[in-house]
Amino acid sequence: MRDEIHNLLRQIPPMDELLSRPWVSEIELLLGREAMKSVFADVIGELRMDLREGKSVDINVRRIEGEARKRLQLKAAVSLCPVINATGIVIHTNLGRSVLPREALEAVVATGGRYSNLEYRLDEGGRGQRNDHVEWLLCQITGADAALVVNNNAAAVLLCLSALARDREAVVSRGELVEIGGSFRIPDVMAFAGTKMIEVGTTNRTYLADYAGAVTAETSMLLKVHPSNYRIVGFHAEASREELAALAREKDLILLEDLGSGVVTDLASSGLEGEPTVRQCLLAGVDVVTFSGDKLLGGPQIGVVAGRKQIVECLRRFPLLRALRVDKMTLAALEIVLRLYLQGKSGAIPTVHMLRLSGEELRSRAQALACRLREVFPQGTFEAIPAEDAVGGGAFPEHPLPGWAVAMTFPGLSSSSLQRKLRKGAFPAVVGIWNDRVTAHVRTLLDGDEERLVQALNDLVGEGAEGLER
């Protein structure tokens, strides 16, 4: 048996022979010689392992080449790429959350491609602070005395807990000990920050007296956490911000609220009610509010800490801040987004624009797309139908958005197969399935996406009958 394995191993071609194949040079230009060797070595190593474990393996040069070539082509392609979001979920976490406005993208290119005054005061000719570019704007929009930005909202919460409640107690309702996507759990973050968590109340009912009864000489703050993508309804009670703020003042504590989604503008006209704005939280007496920049704000991924100047100054001096700071391109994009709000042009921010689209606009767009698809693909079936969209990003989970979509079918092709093929196209399209039909929700289609979807379907149909049936 050992001799048989040894004979099989000898059939594996040497590395130099594999690297001499004509197709290798083209990919080598993209990946380099050493990377090519590494992938070939992985494929050969897996074959050797299978042989040693007694598995039946066919030592075939074409098989080795084919597997290596498939892996190398995947490695040679750019991994992070734009996609068509036809899901109807506006703030789609897996698809990059908010889309930046054109003006913000131009600012990113301008700042990223040249030196900038990131930490330099042009008026004084001396060192500056990167936060200066956005702090005043954040204060104008939120009503805060001071503000700073870090790389995401989890970092903002961690910074506040570490700087303000390390080795101290923070009182929080059991109903707000949430887990958000990516295993972001409030109890874990508090433990990592060195904060002692004091749970009060029950999952569905927590009263002001529960907080008051838990305060000791070791208590540093009261913590209020946005429930994100779930709600407790029915037999439910919670202390108001005003009540918690009064208690915090009475006991000389800090009231910190993790607002999560970060609403800064009124969305009632879109049927989205019940979420407080950052300004409303601060006016209610909350000392510090943290929120995300790439959710309802519609900007890049950042976390904002906004609130009382004395507290923000304490955070500014805390050593952890340096590890959480944001880069110049993020600040460039954020500044433009904030200025659009200040200028009353929030409609130019794609996230806000998508949320404000009317049912009539969506229906008209869906009907036009369905008509276009019927013209190009007479073999398919395309129908504009009412659909349910979503805000996404953990915001307004109980408020689905009435939307419109194009339902499509192709003969001989299942909905799951069509969905998969669109996802794997040259310009990937992420679509939904409803009632055994693929659905392209028009709310989240950006300029030019309709034609991109037509091209994606055209590429798919161009595979021929065999391609459709696979």
β pairing state of 89-91 and 381-392: parallel
Q: What is the CATH number of domain 84-91+354-469?
A: 3.90.1150.180
Rounded distance, CA 419 to CA 437, Å? 9
For residue 6, what pLDDT is reported? 66
In this structure, what DSSP letter does residue 13 have?
P
The yes-or-no answer to whether 84-91+354-469 and 129-348 have a common fold is no
Domains of the chain: which residue ranges?
2-76, 84-91+354-469, 129-348
- pLDDT per residue over 340-396, tens digit each? 999 999 999 999 999 999 999 999 999 999 999 999 999 999 999 999 999 988 777
For residue 183, what pLDDT is reported? 64
Rounded distance, CA 371 to CA 229, Å? 36
Rounded distance, CA 355 to CA 6, Å? 65
From 92, 12, 100, select the one nearest 50 (Cα to Cα): 12
More confident call, 398 vs 158? 158
Name 91's bridge partners.
392
Instruction: Over range 107-134, report the average pLDDT.
Output: 95
- pLDDT per residue over 299-315, tens digit each? 999 999 999 999 999 99
Rounded distance, CA 317 to CA 332, Å? 23
Instruction: Over range 37-54, report the average pLDDT.
Output: 85
- CATH 3.20.20.100 applies to domain 129-348: no
CA distances from 91 to 146, 154, 181, 216, 394 (A): 27, 17, 13, 41, 9
Q: 255, 286 in Cβ contact below 8 A?
A: yes
Considering the entire predicted model, what is its pTM? 0.89
Q: How far apart are the first and last CA of the chain?
A: 40
Q: 400, 391 in Cβ contact below 8 A?
A: no
pLDDT exceeds 50 at position 467: no
In degrees and rounded to multiples of 5, residue 150 shows phi and psi of -130, -175
